[in-house]
Structure 1
């Protein structure tokens, strides 16, 4: 770090965090497994017979126990995961929905694919049993916007309400959009993040046919290996990450614990290809530089990067090249996907939450399964064990199909 910069007056405070991922249910369980670099990928019985039959699911998640049988029955799993994560985040914030002015509370969540589990099941019923057997809940259970609607109902949040859908950048886009809503004065509190649960035969087959998934089906725990020389694709995952954001001054005024701050947001489009990143990484670089400018942070002031790091050949190579151009080698780099797999539209929000925890705890979790850094990756990727580090400013990157890029700057409280 070259200065003792206090960052911009437009920072927003992260006062609550909630996580439901393959690494655990709740922040504490997630942080332990991420620190220990314990992979979660396993053979998935629901994918039996497919080219790729491994995935990272949230183990032990009982929606009826968490939400009540009646409520759980009406919700697709992608909404169930989000509600549980949001409950934890709101509780963690110290705010009481019974006391707040709901009109000043917004909900902004990211999601890429909606309720694909419900959609596939109901399509099967249509084909096998006829139209009279299709559930009247099909549309509200599968529509992509419904997760924000249900979270608003849960907490009496009647302010701005929307879902961002920018593929695998959706969760990061949501957090950036939430910050902008706070800055505009449109609300005082935002429940934000991302969720996804699309480990279905059709979706997995589609990714497999594209060649995007790891084929290490014989050793699933070793399949997701970001930045490793032997990486061969990502492992599909599910999960939800939720943050509660407030203006920093408001959080301090009520004596809230501030875990970290969201100080910058940048977004861009590659305008290059439906699924492949720009080979020069120019779009990703624009998003990173935009986030740095927004935060009024210089490249050499970034201490750490939570990378998109998908474990695919192209993404990891191009992201590393961009980070080298913009930041050099002074920032430590990690990818959580070696543990959690790739949860698509939820990934950015989950990784934003892990970045907040990394900044708060002063410890960088290692990248799981990183045995030999690829020769083309010239950045300081943390592996094997956690690394203690004082972090004043960090980046978290997300890049999605369609060439959609989103980057956050997270700073210490």
Structure 2
């Protein structure tokens, strides 16, 4: 097994686009949560989100591929942009690479259907009773849809577009394990490099669910915060006694994972070394985490075992920390079970307090933050943590960042259905 270095970081997040802006915002405790602007949410009970604003992926799209923008959903655009930023940061020039040794692994999920786009198409064939009559169409027209419409909504299109834009012809896969997808994509990418199946993997997650139908669905599920009386930036409050749900977010985080020896030979900046990945499944409930944290414990222990790291060596945890009552309490239980008497002294924080929950992208954005923590020796805070929950009695770094230099750190992710994932990284 080869060592695996993180040599490039790219982020498209609600509180910052690009590694520098994102990290400065995280350290300063600046939130990217605000009123929804991508559609009219005035009639919705939930009117806020962690929304990415003013992002343009076109600098990373070759002139010969400009038409691809027509079939790129929001997640694909974020993914291409974050990948371009990560490659740029790594110093890798794809013109000098063997494209068959460069791969892409992306975590993503549900792709919102643009109702404003589809309703005019459906109206051409819809009858008064709601059924469809294709005889209304011109006999020479096979469909009322734009021929490539479907390609905008296939989950694998995110990794496909990234590979096309940067000519990455090696291993390519899409991970759709809900809120764990970004973490799992980085873990799977790490293993591809470690096993020698690729020299470079662009790995991470990209997701966007800021859509009227999906906002209604998450609202109906009861997972979103309804603290409408608070300023938007104060609503996401992991581990706080008054938390009542997460804030829906969006964005992308991409990491360039590279053979460690190769990275050193070419003089690359190494942010961190990926040491291990673990995953598990609760088999408990499709909507609730196991309150005893058994699946989470297995995932964390599996990652530590692969990394050959003792729990006592871990100096920081970038938590899943969604700001829901059940998740934050379960995560606290799991940390105590893995780290025992050292759990209460172990610094832990959640950047979801600043960017909301970007679902399939969340673990990847948090992996970027983990690598930056190890590189910059500062731990981002859990903002809005003003009323600590006695059931979440860990060192959750409330309100302000902390100068601290952990040698080894952990990132955790837990998702609907019972998915669990964990990543271990070490300072370079």
Cα deviation, residue 137, structure 1: 2.4
Unpaired runs of 5+ residues, structure 2, are 126-133, 135-142
Report what 2:391 is aligned to: 376
Report what 2:301 is aligned to: 289
Report what 2:52 is aligned to: 58
How far does the alpha carbon of each residue in 1:342-393 deviate from its partner, in whole angstroms, 9 at most, with x for none? 0000000000000000111110011111111111012111012110111100
Cα deviation, residue 207, structure 1: 0.8
Aligned-partner Cα distance in 2 for 1:408–1:64? 32
**2:361 match: secondary structure:** helix
Aligned-partner Cα distance in 2 for 1:258–1:340? 26
**RMSD between superposed Cα atoms in Å:** 1.6
Aligned-partner Cα distance in 2 for 1:36–1:117? 36
How far does the alpha carbon of each residue in 1:180-200 deviate from its partner, in whole angstroms, 9 at most, with x for none? 111222111100100001110
Higher Cα Rg, which structure: 2
Q: Is the 8 A contact 2:60 2:165 kept in 1?
A: no
Report what 2:92 is aligned to: 95
Aligned-partner Cα distance in 2 for 1:243–1:87? 10
Report what 2:316 is aligned to: 304
Report what 1:124 is aligned to: 119
Cα deviation, residue 133, structure 1: 4.2
Judged with a 3 Å threshold, the aligned counterparts in structure 2 of structure 1 residues 368 and 124 are, in CA distance, closer, same or farther, namely farther
Aligned-partner Cα distance in 1 for 2:160–2:168? 9
**1:381 match: secondary structure:** coil
**2:194 match: secondary structure:** helix
Cα deviation, residue 293, structure 1: 0.5
Q: What are the within-5 Å matches in structure 2 for residues 223-238 of structure 1?
A: 223-238=235-250
Report what 1:5 is aligned to: none
Report what 1:164 is aligned to: 175
Cα deviation, residue 63, structure 1: 4.5
* Aligned residue pairs, count: 403
Report what 2:407 is aligned to: 392
Unpaired runs of 5+ residues, structure 1, are 1-8
Q: Is the 8 A contact 1:348 1:398 kept in 2?
A: yes
Report what 1:76 is aligned to: 73
Q: Is the 8 A contact 2:91 2:268 kept in 1?
A: yes
Indicate which of 22, 39, 42 corresponds to 1:48. 42
Further displaced range: 38-47 or 179-188: 38-47
1:144 matched to 2:139? The reply is no
1:191 matched to 2:202? The reply is yes
Q: Is the 8 A contact 2:71 2:149 kept in 1?
A: no
Report what 1:6 is aligned to: none
